[in-house]
Amino acid sequence: MEPATLQMKLGTAIRARRIALGFSQDSFADRIRMHRAYYSAIERGERNVTLHTVYRVAQGLLTSVADLMADARL
């Protein structure tokens, strides 16, 4: 699978979970202490994020990295 496809799948799963929890992009980025523009690029699949960043996002979404990856079907 192409890296861009992986990033898009992960970004889509992150966006879906954030919306389900009722957070705006701004409020969620503040929650995890990440710049809104950087976080937005993650959701759009434009960033090749580190495992540490995925962990931070997963914690903010009240889930595990494993569950987030499963949601993304990775």
- Secondary structure, 3-state, the chain: CCHHHHHHHHHHHHHHHHHHCCCCHHHHHHHCCCCHHHHHHHHCCCCCCCHHHHHHHHHHCCCCHHHHHHHCCC
Q: What are phi and psi of 33, to 5 degrees?
A: 55, 55
Which pLDDT score is estimated for 28?
A: 98
Q: Quick one: pLDDT band at residue 1, thresholds 50, 70, 90?
A: confident
pTM of the model: 0.94
Place of tokens 């992150």: 14
Hey, what domains does the chain have and what are their CATH numbers? 3-71 (1.10.260.40)
pLDDT in tens, 31-53: 999 999 999 999 999 999 999 99
Q: What is the pLDDT of residues 9-34, one digit of tens each?
A: 999 999 999 999 999 999 999 999 99
Whether the Cβ atoms of residue 62 and residue 21 lie closer than 8 Å to each other? yes
